[in-house]
Chains A and B, each alone.
Chain A
Amino acid sequence: MELVYSETRQRQESAELSDRELALLARGGDMLSFELLVSRKTAAVVSVARRIVPDPEDARDVAQMVFLRVWEQLDRYDDKYSFNTWLYRIATNLSIDFLRSSRSREKAHTATLHIVRQREEATGGETARAAEEGEVAGLFRQASERLTGKQKAAFVLREMEDKDTSEIAAILGCGESTVRNHLFNARRILRKEIEKICPGFLAGKGRGSR
């Protein structure tokens, strides 16, 4: 069996290329460039998926699907625009699709149990900051269950991925005013949910600040 290994390529040269250049090379069939792009973007895609999809394993599946979709649709990528925006659009769309699926709904209960467990574990050997981080992340997972997919995606892109309103609009394929509406409604719903889920949590924070 004759194998041709990609190691013969100049990885270093490729590593200096921009995302857009790598995408164009990948579109021409260069798998080395595609894999480099995957490696470069894995953290960002997994981060978005984990924020939107409650279960970490599901989020990883979504991340894999994102890169497969990228590979399948590279011919549709318009290189006049940012590769990142296009990638985030695929990542948020697939994450939202996943949220809508029945499988995700089935797992909602499991995710909630996970949060409870995480809180219990956090009181153990972890540092106070780590415990708090885990608690806040768990709180977000639980409170954000009430958000629509678009509201959740807009909030995640804004608060956790540092995207501007215009970028979020491009990613979600809507106008900036719609993004602002999504953000406003997301905050309103989250506020209500936090107060419903754990009023004592906030009271504790308030005491600690004095």
Chain B
Amino acid sequence: MSNTRKLFYGITGFYLFGIALLVVIFGFGHKNNSFQIQNEFKLINWVHLGVFSINRAVVYLFIAAILTIATMVWIANRMQQRPNKVQTAVEVLYSLMRDNITRGNMDDSLAAKWFPFLGALFLFIWYSNLIGYLPLPTNSQEKFNILGAHIPSFALYAATANISVPLVLAAVVFVVFNWEGIRSQGPIGYIKSLIPSGVSGGILLLIFPLEVISTFMRLLSLTIRLFANILAGHMIILFMAGGLAVILGLTFLGWFTLPFGILIYLFELGLVATLQAFIFATLAAIYIGGAVTHH
């Protein structure tokens, strides 16, 4: 038997042995209703300032903004003729934002005007999604004790997992692309451009409301896509990494679902965080570019 095969059998055997051991030791428990999954995403105000209260989502937003600005400015100030690896990576990122996202979807004058906005949008959402997978001490409902100091427990939370953050970003994009459309074609011209060419007469009464509704649906779809992707990812990680075992009271289930939790964590961290930021910025560019063209 080759070494790889032995390793594979060893790991599978250890996994199954662990499940069997936990079934024997702990047996089958009963349902536990005191663990509510909503509490993992609850926002507790730490500093009460009314609407501007500081809770963990606000802290995450500040961290994402400061981190984005600090890292990009730091790299930009250290650019050399012969780039090192970090500078090359950032240059690839810059080329992705400028050529793929911005220039690929709108003409050159508009691209020069809106590239800073789209670049900042992409980077901010990307950083926000990524720090959501870093455990930080933000769960002030369950504090733990180290040398007498009560520290909030480490928890995974992303600013974009709350519906307000994607909603505001989508609202900004909505205002921007409508304003670009009205600025370039005038208000009447912009509303006329919603109607596809070749449509006239009675069917206009059916098509026009649908087009208006679909323009408003862009706001909703941008929000829900980013919010639900990140929230669902976090909830699946929570359930697989032990949440399901706690709710159902079955200890062996925690051991069983842990590898899936790790896989989902890697999938979310590696693919979904970047992809959702890229999609948000690309769709914003498509909407801005599309608002200026005449149908």
- Whether both chains belong to one complex is answered with no
B-to-A contact residues, CB < 8 Å: none
